[in-house]
A and B are shown apart, each in its own frame.
Chain A
Amino acid sequence: MDALKEWLLSSGINLTVLWDPIDRDRFILGLGLTVSLAALSLLLSLLIGIAGAVAQGSRFALLRQVTTVYIEVFRNTPLVIQLFFFYFGLGSLLPLVQGPDGESMRLMGNFEWAVLVLGIHAGAYQIEALRGSFEAVPRATVEAAESLGLSPAQVLRKVVLPLALRNSLPVLGNGMAQAVKSTSVAFAIAVPELTYATNRIWSENLNVIETMVLLFVTYFILLGIVSFLMRRLELALRLPGVHTA
């Protein structure tokens, strides 16, 4: 490590993340927060997406209206402002609770708000994406399931969902990539994820270029992993005869 440090420094590359323990911990914490923010908000957005897609196919006009209003509001306003609205606006209305070290704190911290808002925001997009996949399930398949005596709930759970979720894999991949990228906006409410962590590092060490390149490469690799996993998943879940390779 020392040799590497000497060599990098002598080439003018001050990549403190490699040898400064404080910067290294910040970076690793940031990476962990980015990944968990992305995973949790994606999960939330998928739940919202499935519920919303079902609601939009519902017989009740009011349910469809409410879903549409939700989609339009969250798709047509900026994510940062949603984040501020929830974190500062609603967050200030939350009750104070005793924190672990005895000091009083809000019921939800910035990480929890970020998960919630990123999830709700992405959910509005997932509904549209999942709806298309639901509609692509052949009518005849649903009728066949009904004629076998399955209840509507069973048809949904055992026939429509498995097919619809498979149909949605390509769109889901997009959603995952978007989820990883959106986490950087949590910078705005000081969640120490990758962007925030590296921003701290480069403003303290004045090694903007090296650290920024590292940041770009990290996101690039994260998204590469996402698309690799999605391709594997698509192959693993492929139904012969339904999906062509």
Chain B
Amino acid sequence: MSHSSTTLAAPRERRTPPLAGLVLAALAIAAAVAWHAAHPGQAATLWQWLPALLRGFTVNIGMGLGAAVLSTLLGLMLGIGQLSPWQRVSRSARWITLALRNAPWLVIMFAMMAAIPFEIELFGHYFQPSDWAKVLTGLALGGAGYVSEIVRGGLRSIPAAQWEAATSLALDRRQTLTKVILPQALRSMVPAWMNLYCTLTMATSLSSLMGIVDMMTVLQECLAAEANPDLLLPAYGLVCVIYFLYIYPFSRWSRRLERRWSHHG
């Protein structure tokens, strides 16, 4: 799309003002104090649950990291495949990417739970993939669709002259990709990739629907044991806070990189 070059109202600097964080913290503390005054004793209960919740959260973090690594590998292959000169490769990579992007992650996770067999034979060894690994695979597949598009966009953003220059230096396609194009494309890909990491980590909370004992499952077990409906609101609020404290720094960082690199990139 081409618009006139002048834009409306000098786009206000997208820096998130530190004030917003203070406002948020003040609001959260005020809400917590008000709730505490109305329901004494709950804070102590939640405090008791905290270690178990955080142990559950390590499952989420681990799954998020594993899914990020796996989806990056798969997505790199798909993304490079999408730009392959062989039509058969590029077309199937495009279709796989589209199919992965068009399916809800929850559904992909269900599919992997059902599709991965109870026992796999690999080089004469028998493995019994745990539910954990199945859900992780499902998440990674969903993420791979996004990585594929990130990679394709990143590679496409490198001017054709770079390809031509590399070819004229007698580099073959593989060398051109790994030595010339990818290192330059990486910059524009990193912020989007970090966003995906955040999304993947947040999506691990879906795994509790599949019977994985993550932070949510731990919380629900605690809540069921206590059987006090007044605890529901602060308990789910606490889990939100834990996720927020982990995710927010990454998403700030990703936005900073995006801003810094978009100016000269």
Contacts and interface: CB of A to CB of B under 8 A. Distances in A.
A156 to B, nearest CB: 11
A209 to B, nearest CB: 7
B16 A68 contact: yes
Contacts of A243: 1-2
A148 B109 CA distance: 57
B179 to A, nearest CB: 33
Question: For the complex, would chain A's binding face be called helix, strand, loop or mixed by DSSP majority?
Answer: helix
B107 A184 contact: yes
Contacts of A77: 202, 240, 243-244, 247
Interface of A: 56-57, 61, 64-66, 68-69, 72-73, 75-82, 84-85, 88-90, 92-93, 134-142, 160, 167, 177, 181-185, 187-188, 195, 199, 202, 208-209, 212, 215-216, 219-220, 223-224, 242-244
Given A135-B7, A181-B104, A187-B209, A81 B24 contact: no
Given A78-B202, A89-B232, A135-B9, A219 B107 contact: yes
B248 A72 contact: yes
Contacts of A184: 104, 106-107
Nearest to B229: A92
B23 A69 contact: yes
Contact of A185 (B7, B106, B208): B106
B132 interface: no
Which 5 residue pairs across A and B have the least CB separation, nearest first? A89-B233, A184-B104, A78-B202, A85-B236, A78-B205
B248 to A, nearest CB: 5
B134 to A, nearest CB: 13
B6 interface: yes
B6 A140 contact: yes
A93 B229 CA distance: 9
B3 A242 contact: yes
Interface in B225-260: 229, 232-237, 239-240, 243-244, 247-248, 251
A97 to B, nearest CB: 18
Contacts of B229: 92
Of B6, B24, B102, B209, most buried by chain A (CB within 10 Å of CB) is: B102
A182 B105 CA distance: 9
Given A78-B205, A138-B8, A242-B3, 12 more contacts: A61-B19, A76-B247, A76-B251, A77-B240, A80-B205, A85-B233, A89-B236, A135-B7, A136-B3, A140-B4, A177-B102, A195-B110
B111 A216 contact: yes
